[in-house]
Amino acid sequence: MVETTISVIKADIGSLAGHVVVPDFLMELARKRLKEGVQKGIIKDYYVANAGDDLELIMTHHKGEDNEEIHQLAWDIFNEGAKLGREKKIYAAGQDILSDTFSGNVRGMGPGSAEMTIEERKSEPIAIFMADKTEPGAFNYPVFRMFADPFNTAGLVIDPNLHQGFIFVIQDIKQSTPHFVEMRCPEEMYDLLALLGSTSRYTIKKVYRKDGLVAAAVSTDKLHQIAGKYIGKDDPVAIIRAHSGLPAMGEVLEAFALPHMVAGWMRGSHIGPLMPVGLKDSRCTRFDGPPRVVGLGFQVHDGLLLGPVDFFEDVAFDSTRQRAMEVADYLRRHGPFMPHRLDEESMEYTTLPSVLTKFEKRFSDQEIVPTGKTTDTSDSAE
Ligand code: 13P
Ligand code: 13P
Ligand code: MG
Ligand code: MG
């Protein structure tokens, strides 16, 4: 049987009026180039979307994962778009393009990618989740709930085809070389949670059924780690298969009913609720957020994409959004205080080293009692 590969490759190559939304001309460019990609036989089908300021290329083909031609196609679109964006002086044009030369795969070059190769089942419903203003670990909580939490996924208890559980492949993204570990659930659930709870370090790369069928793929690209300095968050994507021995689509979506806390938001340095939204609300505004996720559903057939259905546009997620905004109000009142602001290590912007340098000479091994005299700072001393 012919295998179909779903590749979602994304990058922030510039946005409109701040880190808000992908401009239309970039979406049009992507559609045009991907259509040509179909005509040239590089890809089978495509859909272009945006998650806030991130341009999302959803592609299907029969060339397998990490395929050079597919990655090149995405890379060329991002570069052409960035060039056009620079001409129009859009905001942060070329933000996620960190290299001048292409080396065969977008991994490690700025863009993010999630890919999965499947043998199409009798019916193949999939969901693509795309988030903005957050990091790959943002998917740990919902993907765990989909595939491992019986309070979320009834099928784990009542469907004989799910009852045996799933295998999670976890990546330690703090390592400079690839580091993966496989954990079986439910047998090793507590070990799995020990890792997955550390969302800034351990992220889910893939989920498999115990018989080896692939069920989920998440992008784990850590942008600021690649660049060595802050240039943007690693806004992630995930591909999830549903039904027939996998969680039902309703169980997949149920995992987003709680607007859970994620790292990102303003300057990639704050925690905030992940708010599920329809494509029409896929734009980040308040305090550059709050962090958002869009979810599109497709049926894959013979490598083609039927759809999408814009899942979170549904009124069933209104109360989740309402709660997210209440949480956002509450958190914002903490201003620069942790835990709304991330800890020093996780912050991607920080003035702390320069503040400490400025005050270096004023630190003392004795408790200081102010004398009322003018303080002698290194800045003002003669
Ligand atoms: P259908 O009876 O429509 O196939 O739905 C089954 C199901 O599992 C719903 O979650
Ligand atoms: P992006 O990573 O979405 O570009 O956001 C960057 C930022 O600093 C938002 O405040
Ligand atoms: Mg941006
Ligand atoms: Mg973004």
Is the C-alpha dihedral spanning 133, 136, 137, 141 positive or negative? Answer: positive
Query: 247 and 136 share a domain?
Result: yes
Domain assignment present for 369: no
Give the CATH number for residue 106.
3.30.70
Total domains in the fold of the chain = 2
Query: 191 and 86 share a domain?
Result: no
Domain assignment present for 334: yes
Query: Counting every residue, how long is the chain?
Result: 382
What average pLDDT does range 34-58 have in this prediction? 98
Domain assignment present for 230: yes
Neighbours of 187 (CB within 10 A): 10
What ligand 1 atom has the least distance to the C-alpha of 243? 8
* CB distance 110 to ligand 2 below 6 Å: no
Query: 224 and 350 share a domain?
Result: yes
Query: 289 and 356 share a domain?
Result: yes
Give, using CA atoms, the residue closest to atom 10 of ligand 1: 248
What ligand 2 atom has the least distance to the C-alpha of 284? 3
Last residue of a domain, which of 71, 96, 119? 119
Query: 141 and 281 share a domain?
Result: yes
* CB distance 45 to ligand 2 below 6 Å: no
Catalytic residue numbers, as ranges: 12, 230, 233
Query: 205 and 298 share a domain?
Result: yes
Q: Which two tokens mark 154?
A: 């009834």
Last residue of a domain, which of 119, 146, 167? 119
Domain assignment present for 381: no
Mutation to probe ligand 2, out of 13, 50, 133 (largest number of atoms < 8 A from CB): 133
Query: 80 and 158 share a domain?
Result: no
What average pLDDT does range 319-325 have in this prediction? 98
Query: 147 and 212 share a domain?
Result: yes
Query: 146 and 106 share a domain?
Result: no
Domain assignment present for 105: yes
* CB distance 248 to ligand 1 below 6 Å: yes
**38 and 45 in contact (C-beta within 8 Å)?**
yes
Rg (CA), the chain: 22
Query: 148 and 65 share a domain?
Result: no
**What integer pLDDT is reported at residue 100 of this predicted model?**
80
In this prediction, residue 377 has a pLDDT band, given cuts at 50, 70 and 90, of low
**What integer pLDDT is reported at residue 210 of this predicted model?**
96
Domain assignment present for 184: yes
pLDDT one-digit tens code per residue, 194-207: 999 999 999 999 99
What is the per-residue DSSP string for 171-226? EETTSSS--EEEEEETTTHHHHHHHHT-TTTEEEEEEEETTS-EEEEE----HHHH
Domain assignment present for 377: no
What ligand 1 atom has the least distance to the C-alpha of 250? 10
Closest ligand by atom to 159 CA: 1
* Residue 360: pLDDT over 60: yes
Query: 227 and 314 share a domain?
Result: yes
User: Lowest-pLDDT range, 36-45, 89-98, 111-120, 343-352?
Assistant: 343-352
Residue 66: domain span: 1-119
Distance 100 CA to ligand 2 centre (A): 22
Query: 278 and 327 share a domain?
Result: yes
Domain assignment present for 317: yes
Last residue of a domain, which of 119, 148, 174? 119
